[in-house]
């Protein structure tokens, strides 16, 4: 499966908002830090289904968490 540029930008943006290192992001997503480095620094976009699902699930969870926090404020 192929990550879109928008997906990669969203992951980078959320990583920045949460101030996560590559290692912390790897732990949070359960995706290898080497895979994340390839995605971020080497324009690697073709990933397997499991990696694709893990990254999308993490993004959705984080955006839901952000939305919940904004509505309770």
What pLDDT is recorded for position 33?
97
Question: How far apart, in Å, are the Cα atoms of 14 and each of 20, 33, 60, 67?
Answer: 9, 16, 11, 13
With residue 3 as reference, give the H or E element that holds it.
Answer: none
8 A C-beta contact, residue 15 and residue 58: no
- Domain count of the fold of the chain: 1
Per-residue pLDDT of the chain (73 residues; tens, 9 = 90+): 999 999 999 999 999 999 999 999 999 999 999 999 999 998 889 999 999 999 999 999 999 998 888 777 6
> Rounded to whole angstroms, how far apart are CA atoms 18 and 45?
23
> Rounded to whole angstroms, how far apart are CA atoms 32 and 29?
9
What pLDDT is recorded for position 73?
61
8 A C-beta contact, residue 61 and residue 12: no
What pLDDT is recorded for position 67?
87
Supply the range of the domain harboring residue 57. 5-72
Domain of 65, CATH number, reads 1.10.260
């Amino acid at each position: 499966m192929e990550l879109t540029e928008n997906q990669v930008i969203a992951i980078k943006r959320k990583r920045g908002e949460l101030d996560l290192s590559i290692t912390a992001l790897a732990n949070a997503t359960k995706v290898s830090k080497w895979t994340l480095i390839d995605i971020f620094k080497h324009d690697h976009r073709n990933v397997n289904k499991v990696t694709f699902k893990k990254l999308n699930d993490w993004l959705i969870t984080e955006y839901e968490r952000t939305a919940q926090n904004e509505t309770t404020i």
